[in-house]
Amino acid sequence: QQQVKQSPQSLIVQKGGISIINCAYENTAFDYFPWYQQFPGKGPALLIAIRPDVSEKKEGRFTISFNKSAKQFSLHIMDSQPGDSATYFCAARRSSGDKLTFGTGTRLAVRP
Amino acid sequence: EPEVTQTPSHQVTQMGQEVILRCVPISNHLYFYWYRQILGQKVEFLVSFYNNEISEKSEIFDDQFSVERPDGSNFTLKIRSTKLEDSAMYFCASSRQVHEQYFGPGTRLTVT
């Protein structure tokens, strides 16, 4: 019940296209959902985050959509660029805890 | 922009040896964390630390592991007797409040 399931495992998108990564969770105690971007050899970098009281959050080309009833959330990258090529992790945190539970990651490749 | 820093970037040690991984969190942050990432796998929580004590730990964080904040700036992870399966990237993170955790670049630990 502590797991966060992420799909797809890998994704190839043409430059200018939309990248969509999905995550699902079971634990209704999760109340904070961040997305992290990781380049090879680097640490995860916080990209954008959402709380369940809103259904969407947008920052620049990055949008999180959140469906509380379905216990799903997704990351949309608009106008994808080759520089967006990285591994993306969704995560979740319980209201009563500190730890982030990470998804398994999505390796995104944006072709020029 | 303030960053979490970690040293060393790569540590090679023999099985059974003790290692200390060091982190300097962002200066006004109050919460500190260690995570690890085995090659190609997801990021896993180890421990969180607040107000000079462990606030949460995972089942991975057994008696071989310990954390310490020896002074006002450093945060360390000690592994007393390393095993082959401890080989991983170890990430330190910090946050001002419980959410929005910022990760360091990691220390690659190789146990031979």
**What per-residue confidence (pLDDT) applies to A86?**
97
Checking if the pLDDT of B98 tops 90, the result is no
Report CA Rg, chain A.
Answer: 13
pLDDT band at B92 (very low <50, low <70, confident <90, very high): very high
A–B interface: beta-carbon pairs under 8 A: 56
**Contact with chain B for residue A107, Cβ under 8 A:** no
**What per-residue confidence (pLDDT) applies to A11?**
97
More confident of the two residues B67 and B71: B67
**What per-residue confidence (pLDDT) applies to B72?**
77
Best mutation target among B10, B29, B41, B42 (most A Cβ atoms within 10 Å) is B42
Give residue-wise pLDDT tens across range A65-103: 999 999 999 999 999 999 999 999 999 998 877 899 999
pLDDT, average across residues B79-92: 96
Percent of chain B with pLDDT over 70: 99
Q: Which of B31, B91, B100 sits opposite A98 (nearest CB)?
A: B31
Chain A residues 18-57 with a CB less than 8 Å from chain B: 32, 34, 36, 41-46, 49
Checking if the pLDDT of B45 tops 90, the result is yes
**What per-residue confidence (pLDDT) applies to A79?**
98
**What per-residue confidence (pLDDT) applies to B80?**
96
Cα–Cα dist B89/A86, whole Å: 17
Give residue-wise pLDDT tens across range A1-57: 679 999 999 999 999 999 999 999 998 899 999 999 999 888 999 999 999 899 999
pLDDT band at B83 (very low <50, low <70, confident <90, very high): very high
Q: Using the beta-carbon criterion (under 8 Å), do B103 and A99 form an inter-chain contact?
A: no
Checking if the pLDDT of B110 tops 80, the result is yes
Checking if the pLDDT of A109 tops 80, the result is yes
Checking if the pLDDT of B31 tops 80, the result is yes
Q: Which of B42, B100, B102 sits opposite A105 (nearest CB)?
A: B42
Chain B residues 34-73 with a CB less than 8 Å from chain A: 35, 41-45, 48, 50, 55-56, 58
Give residue-wise pLDDT tens across range A64-73: 999 999 999 9
Q: Report the residue of chain B nearest A4, measured CA to CA.
A: B42
Q: Which H, E and C letters describe chain A, residue by residue?
A: CCCEEEECCEEEEECCCCEEEEEEECCCCEEEEEEEEECCCCCCEEEEEECCCCCEEEECCEEEEEECCCCEEEEEECCCCHHHCEEEEEEEEECCCCCEEECCCEEEEEEC
